[in-house]
A and B are shown apart, each in its own frame.
Chain A
Amino acid sequence: MKSLGSIRRSFAPWADPASKPFISVKNVTKKFGDFTAVDDLSLNIYTREFFALLGASGCGKSTLLRMLAGFEQPTSGEIILDGQSLAGIPPYRRPVNMMFQSYALFPHMTVETNIAFGLKQDGMPKADIAERVGQMLKLVKLEKFAKRKPHQLSGGQRQRVALARSLAKRPKVLLLDEPLGALDKKLREETQFELMDLQQELGLTFVVVTHDQEEAMTMADRIAVMSHGKVAQVATPAEIYEAPNSRFVADFIGDVNIFDGTVAAAESGYLSIETGNGFPVRMASPEKLAIGAKAAVAIRPEKIRVSRQPPAHAPVNAVEGEIWDVGYLGDMTVFHVRLKDGRVVKASSLNAVRAVEDPFGYDQQVWISFGEDAGVVLKD
């Protein structure tokens, strides 16, 4: 049997021009009065993909999900599911199911009847319903709680009931609205991996809405970062993190240092950028920018080294400063290094060895440096 990892690595239908998208969102706009919640948005989601819509609240991600479910109709544009337009199809006739943020369990029904509700609407024979409900209870490990009512369950158990109920009809697509938002941190991390395993096991397409970037990074095959009703970038978690396409995405996902400057020189695949006060940066870049153009270099803190001695390539990609703040997080240590011109650079290092003493203390003079492929060049 292939491991999950090998399946995941080889799974990239979006890169294959021959593969057809399962869900196609085409130029969809949704307006509420004067407010534009979703603005001319286009997206493709593929079969068996774990797709995340990530963004701050009010970015339109939930509205998009509700349009997929059928609770909202697009003002303009079209959504196509499995070759069929969803325009005008009410939620109760769509082959998608949704897991709600509030779980939306029916308070007057037991766990069992909650899970059976959707199957009953389809007119499934009683014996089949009982069997399917049994399978779902087993899947979410709630066999012992079948006869309980929602208010007799803990938060984590309710979340599982909601999941089982939305999966019971074996929908083509499962929509998840902040599925782990109400769980505490430990349970959330466990459940993330359970959801991933479940999605692989059942071979379903998942579309999850979340504001939690860690959650999106962990679970999703691809992430759409959204802002003001538009998609800022759609890519795999690694691409989003390592090769953000804009200042917004770089800043939204994780920590980042952004050095503004102008292009000083360009040569085969590299750009030299003067970022002010004698701090020249040379960075690999597939994009060619004109000399004198404004550009910014985005570098993640963990790609920046802190050392006592200047590196060999100084002064390129290296600058002197002093340790301004030290944050010890256990697994890693975060340094804020203040440059001579007042800019503060964040650097972090993994504590791979059990260090009893911090190597760097406050106010110490240090050099920060990074490689020529440590960051990305962003056009302004």
Chain B
Amino acid sequence: MGSWSRFNIASIVLGFGFLYLPIVLLVIFSFNESKLVTVWAGFSTKWYAQLWHNQALLDAAWVTIRVALLSATCATVLGTLAALALVRYTRFRGRMLFSGMVYAPLVMPEVITGLSLLLLFVAIGLDRGFWTITLAHITFTMCFVAVVVQSRLLSFDQSIEEAALDLGATPVRTFFAITLPVIAPAVFSGWVLAFTLSLDDLVISSFTTGPGATTLPMKIYSQVRLGVTPEINAICTILIGIVAIGVVVASIVTKQREAQREKDERAAFAQ
């Protein structure tokens, strides 16, 4: 371990300042008494109280959550199936092309994804709104799930599936009794990833939305064009809080599980 030289301290302060100063400012000003965003006039939580009376904002939040839940769930199912197919069926022709095509949306500019989806929806005459946003979100989050699950499956010992088959379980039962429980943590992190990606997506949602389906990021963005209000700061602070709690809980659970596992293994070999 190196000692705390001045250089190290300076790097850390600069680095973290760069990352978190804007967020800290946002959080602080969400508690501002004044309506002017840049002038501090004392502590207050009134903007949070006002949020509950802003029906448009609440509606947008509700749409966002429904889209995120639904699209993350569908994307997890499809992404997991895609990952299974790509890892298991290594002998079919054009496999490289297929796995490349799964990764492509990861690097595709969102504007292009959004535009092409819009063209598709218009071409097939689908009314734009809640369902088109959900479909679009499934499309772009699915590949993230596929990547996460695929990396887990690469280290998966396939002989446990063979053992289940050997003991009389049909392939379908084997999948639900053995494969799925073992890869569940990866599937779950895929879901969380898809959920958060859907939650804060602005570009693709804007392309594929229609009347009556405004998501929270879209709502915030359109309000900001009329000027930042402390109300926006308040709702952003709540979002930050939710995400932060999620991340902290997830990492604590993982840490504890690892520690428990290590303890168990030591106990097993100590006998």
Binding site for B on A (CB under 8 A): 69-71, 90-93, 96-98, 100-102, 104-108, 117-118, 121-122, 148-149, 151-154, 157, 165-166, 169
* Contact of B166 (CB < 8 Å), options: A92, A105, A108: A92
Q: How far is the CA of A118 from the CA of B157 in the complex (A)?
A: 19
Looking across the interface, which residue of chain B has its beta carbon closest to that of A158? Answer: B268
Contact, CB under 8 Å: A104 / B157: yes
Contact, CB under 8 Å: A121 / B182: no
**22 A–B contacts from the bound complex (CB under 8 Å):** A69-B162, A69-B166, A70-B165, A70-B166, A71-B162, A92-B166, A92-B168, A93-B168, A97-B166, A98-B166, A106-B160, A106-B178, A108-B182, A118-B168, A121-B169, A149-B264, A151-B264, A151-B265, A154-B268, A154-B269, A154-B271, A166-B167
Contact, CB under 8 Å: A122 / B168: yes
Looking across the interface, which residue of chain B has its beta carbon closest to that of A118? Answer: B167
Within 8 A of A (CB), among B147-189: 157, 159-160, 162-171, 173, 177-178, 181-182
Looking across the interface, which residue of chain B has its beta carbon closest to that of A95? Answer: B168
Determine if B46 is an interface residue (Cβ-Cβ < 8 Å): no
Determine if B226 is an interface residue (Cβ-Cβ < 8 Å): no
Residues of the B chain whose Cβ atoms lie less than 8 Å from the Cβ of A101: 159
Residues of the B chain whose Cβ atoms lie less than 8 Å from the Cβ of A93: 168
Query: Closest CB-CB distance, B174 to chain A, in whole Å?
Result: 8
Contact, CB under 8 Å: B169 / A102: no
Binding site for A on B (CB under 8 A): 157, 159-160, 162-171, 173, 177-178, 181-182, 261, 264-265, 267-269, 271
Contact, CB under 8 Å: B169 / A107: no
Query: Closest CB-CB distance, A281 to chain B, in whole Å?
Result: 50
Contact, CB under 8 Å: B165 / A117: no
* Contact of A107 (CB < 8 Å), options: B162, B171, B182, B267: B182
Interface centre among B159, B169, B182 (most CB of A within 10 A): B159
Known contacts being A151-B261, A151-B264, A152-B265, is A92 close to B165, with CB within 8 Å?
Answer: yes
Interface centre among B167, B171, B178 (most CB of A within 10 A): B167
Residues of the B chain whose Cβ atoms lie less than 8 Å from the Cβ of A98: 162-163, 166
Q: How far is the CA of A115 from the CA of B177 in the complex (A)?
A: 14
Q: How far is the CA of A285 from the CA of B269 in the complex (A)?
A: 55
Known contacts being A153-B268, A154-B269, is A102 close to B159, with CB within 8 Å?
Answer: yes
Query: Closest CB-CB distance, A177 to chain B, in whole Å?
Result: 9
Contact, CB under 8 Å: B162 / A100: yes
Looking across the interface, which residue of chain A has its beta carbon closest to that of B266? Answer: A152
Looking across the interface, which residue of chain B has its beta carbon closest to that of A98? Answer: B166
Residues of the B chain whose Cβ atoms lie less than 8 Å from the Cβ of A154: 268-269, 271
Q: How far is the CA of A148 from the CA of B269 in the complex (A)?
A: 13
Residues of the B chain whose Cβ atoms lie less than 8 Å from the Cβ of A71: 162, 165
Q: How far is the CA of A91 from the CA of B168 in the complex (A)?
A: 7
Q: How far is the CA of A118 from the CA of B166 in the complex (A)?
A: 8
Known contacts being A151-B265, A151-B268, is A92 close to B163, with CB within 8 Å?
Answer: no
Q: How far is the CA of A329 from the CA of B198 in the complex (A)?
A: 70
Q: How far is the CA of A104 from the CA of B166 in the complex (A)?
A: 11
Task: Count how many pairs of residues, one from A and one from B, have CB atoms less than 8 Å apart in the complex.
Answer: 78
Q: How far is the CA of A96 from the CA of B169 in the complex (A)?
A: 13
A92-B169, A117-B169 are known contacts; what are 9 more A-B pairs with Cβ within 8 Å?
A92-B170, A96-B166, A105-B160, A106-B182, A122-B168, A148-B268, A151-B264, A166-B167, A169-B167
Residues of the B chain whose Cβ atoms lie less than 8 Å from the Cβ of A108: 181-182
Contact, CB under 8 Å: B264 / A152: yes
Residues of the A chain whose Cβ atoms lie less than 8 Å from the Cβ of B157: 102, 104
Looking across the interface, which residue of chain A has its beta carbon closest to that of B264? Answer: A152
Q: How far is the CA of A26 from the CA of B78 in the complex (A)?
A: 44
- What 6 pairs across the A-B complex have the smallest Cβ distances? A118-B167, A121-B168, A104-B163, A104-B159, A91-B165, A152-B264
Q: How far is the CA of A100 from the CA of B168 in the complex (A)?
A: 15
Q: How far is the CA of A91 from the CA of B171 in the complex (A)?
A: 10
Query: Closest CB-CB distance, A352 to chain B, in whole Å?
Result: 39
Residues of the A chain whose Cβ atoms lie less than 8 Å from the Cβ of B167: 92, 97, 117-118, 121, 165-166, 169
* Contact of A104 (CB < 8 Å), options: B162, B170, B173, B265: B162
Residues of the B chain whose Cβ atoms lie less than 8 Å from the Cβ of A152: 264-265, 267-268
Looking across the interface, which residue of chain A has its beta carbon closest to that of B170? Answer: A92
Query: Closest CB-CB distance, A33 to chain B, in whole Å?
Result: 9
Residues of the A chain whose Cβ atoms lie less than 8 Å from the Cβ of B165: 70-71, 90-92
Query: Closest CB-CB distance, B239 to chain A, in whole Å?
Result: 34
Residues of the A chain whose Cβ atoms lie less than 8 Å from the Cβ of B261: 151
Q: How far is the CA of A107 from the CA of B257 in the complex (A)?
A: 14
Q: How far is the CA of A117 from the CA of B161 in the complex (A)?
A: 12
Contact, CB under 8 Å: A106 / B163: yes
Residues of the B chain whose Cβ atoms lie less than 8 Å from the Cβ of A153: 268
Residues of the B chain whose Cβ atoms lie less than 8 Å from the Cβ of A117: 164, 167, 169, 177
Residues of the A chain whose Cβ atoms lie less than 8 Å from the Cβ of B160: 104-107
Q: How far is the CA of A108 from the CA of B164 in the complex (A)?
A: 13
Q: How far is the CA of A35 from the CA of B264 in the complex (A)?
A: 44
Q: How far is the CA of A104 from the CA of B174 in the complex (A)?
A: 13
Looking across the interface, which residue of chain B has its beta carbon closest to that of A123? Answer: B168
Query: Closest CB-CB distance, B169 to chain A, in whole Å?
Result: 5
Residues of the A chain whose Cβ atoms lie less than 8 Å from the Cβ of B181: 108
Contact, CB under 8 Å: A169 / B264: no
Q: How far is the CA of A151 from the CA of B261 in the complex (A)?
A: 8
Residues of the A chain whose Cβ atoms lie less than 8 Å from the Cβ of B166: 69-70, 91-92, 96-98, 166
Residues of the A chain whose Cβ atoms lie less than 8 Å from the Cβ of B171: 92
Residues of the B chain whose Cβ atoms lie less than 8 Å from the Cβ of A106: 160, 163-164, 178, 182
Query: Closest CB-CB distance, B243 to chain A, in whole Å?
Result: 29
Q: How far is the CA of A121 from the CA of B170 in the complex (A)?
A: 9
Query: Closest CB-CB distance, A362 to chain B, in whole Å?
Result: 45
Query: Closest CB-CB distance, B232 to chain A, in whole Å?
Result: 45
Looking across the interface, which residue of chain A has its beta carbon closest to that of B161? Answer: A104
Residues of the A chain whose Cβ atoms lie less than 8 Å from the Cβ of B264: 149, 151-152
Q: How far is the CA of A334 from the CA of B165 in the complex (A)?
A: 49
